[in-house]
Chains A and B, each alone.
Chain A
Amino acid sequence: MSSLSRISVAMGLAVVIGLGSTDFFLRAKAPLGTTKHQMWTAWPSTGLGSNANAENPYLQAHTARNGTVPLGDNEGILLKTYRDVSGDTLVRNCLYRMIGDVPTSQLWTLSVSDAVGRVLPNPSLRFGIESNQLLRAPDGTFDIWLSRDVQPGNWISLGDLPEDLYTANEQVPVDGRNQNQSFLLTLRLYGANLSSETSLSAVEFPTIEKVSCP
């Protein structure tokens, strides 16, 4: 093997593996630094804060790439899921039910967006629900329904636009296929004293189950 071909093999490998692996990690829906808590992925704040993950370069690069300002250390805790409790991707055609309690916090909100965090068009303006407006049963429990069609009780709309209009509007398919169909569920706990990973793993999180699909 000539030295020229060796150099080109080494360079080729470096570029392909170097760029490929970086891209892979930055595209990941749960990049290194996030933690899994039952069906939820917790996103530590990416900042120059006190917790160990704050300066995680994967999370920081992820934040920069996505153009977001995630909740900071003292703002709250961000939990996301793309899947229901049985591991299936959340899709906007189905009816889902969320049960179980949410960790104690001053305020929490549950909201629906497309896979990259853009709000789904929704004339009823039911983009999400918050702890303060929740209808609870006499024993304090609650369930939240997620579907396109209006549901009695606690309901979050999964968007109203017809699918074809959606596709026409979509300019950049980010994060793979079924962009129009799938959705992201985000649970934000504000003023929660749960910042450390250990305390997060000690609490129960709500679960989303699929009730029916057309």
Chain B
Amino acid sequence: MINRSLFVTLLIGLFLAAIIHIGILLFAPRLSVSDAWEAIALPLEPFVAVPVRAMRPGEVFNDLDESDDTPITEVPMRDLDPQFSHAICRFDLNSGPVHIRTDGFEGFWTLNLFSAGGISFFSTNEQVNAGRPPNILVTTPSQVSSLRANNSASLNNLALVETEILNAAVLFRAYRQHQQALPTDMAELQSVFYCSPFQQNPAPETEEVQPAATVLDEPILETEAVIEAETTETTEDPLTE
């Protein structure tokens, strides 16, 4: 009797242990506070690219001081390729699609869209993108269908990424080649790597999509101007000439 009850006790113990094990594993990406989303991306201003640098020995992962009011101008990250330079940008799709692109950057690159837990939901590279710089529109399925309903010509040349994930971030990895790297200065980075709210070209009947678009203010003009510039070839690129 005693042996049997001990056996049952152990069995119950192991069963509960398994539940704890599985529970922690499954919830780790959501509950973690030190993952790339929670600790690195979330504190960032949305739609503003920030230089990422390699973490140095002695640096603790979650080193960003939250009580500190000084704006973040670079973020340290580990497990980065030192032969690449990196930029990160947080975005949210609540106010409309997001346009990710570079200006004046040539060479090999890869890009990763991730959200909670640092878990990737989309990735691509220069080769997959037919050797061109990134020009990606991240949207929800309903946003893209209303864009299409407007017969918007502005979707041309854009790689569409449809997702239901509204809060996410992009990590852009740019190969260092011929002395070329992403700026380590945050202000300079803003004119090289963009992740900004998307503004379509005005179409005849745009009533339904207007609300999303009107929320956005000055970046719109900038985005539009550069889309035009891109379609007419980026010949003003100083690095390639």
Contacts and interface: CB of A to CB of B under 8 A. Distances in A.
Does A associate with B in a complex?
Answer: yes
Interface residues of A, number: 66
Given A13-B14, A128-B82, A67 B110 contact: no
Interface in B70-123: 77-84, 108, 110-112, 114, 117-123
Contacts of B127: 106, 191
Q: Is the interface of B mostly helix, strand, loop or mixed?
A: mixed
Contacts of A60: 28-29, 117, 119
A18 B117 contact: no
A71 B32 CA distance: 20
Contact of A10 (B16, B124, B173): B16
B9 interface: yes
Interface residues of B, number: 64
Given A13-B17, A18-B17, A63-B35, A45 B123 contact: yes
A69 B20 contact: no
B50 interface: no
A69 B112 contact: yes
Interface stretch (A95-103, A108-116, A143-151): A108-116
Contacts of B39: 67
B55 A119 contact: yes
Contacts of B40: 67
Interface in A14-45: 14-19, 21-22, 25-26, 45
A205 interface: no
Q: Among the interface residues B28, B57, B114, B122, which one has the most CB atoms of the partner chain A within 10 A? A: B57
Interface string B159-177: 0000000000001010101
A49 B120 CA distance: 8
Contacts of B17: 13-18, 21
Interface string B40-69: 100000000000001111111110000000
Contacts of B14: 13-14, 17
Given A66-B78, A111-B81, A111-B83, A132 B177 contact: yes
Nearest to B61: A67
B26 interface: yes
Contacts of A177: none
Contacts, number: 221
B58 A170 contact: yes
B10 interface: yes
A117 B20 contact: no
A25 B58 CA distance: 25
B205 to A, nearest CB: 35
Contacts of A124: none
B13 A11 contact: yes
Nearest to A109: B83
Contact of B58 (A61, A70, A171): A171
The 4 A-B residue pairs whose C-beta atoms are closest, nearest first, are A72-B123, A18-B20, A13-B13, A14-B16
Interface of B: 2, 5-6, 9-10, 12-21, 24-26, 28-29, 32, 34-36, 39-40, 54-62, 77-84, 108, 110-112, 114, 117-128, 171, 173, 175, 177
14 contacts: A1-B6, A6-B9, A14-B13, A17-B14, A17-B17, A17-B21, A47-B120, A57-B28, A63-B119, A68-B77, A69-B171, A76-B110, A190-B110, A191-B125
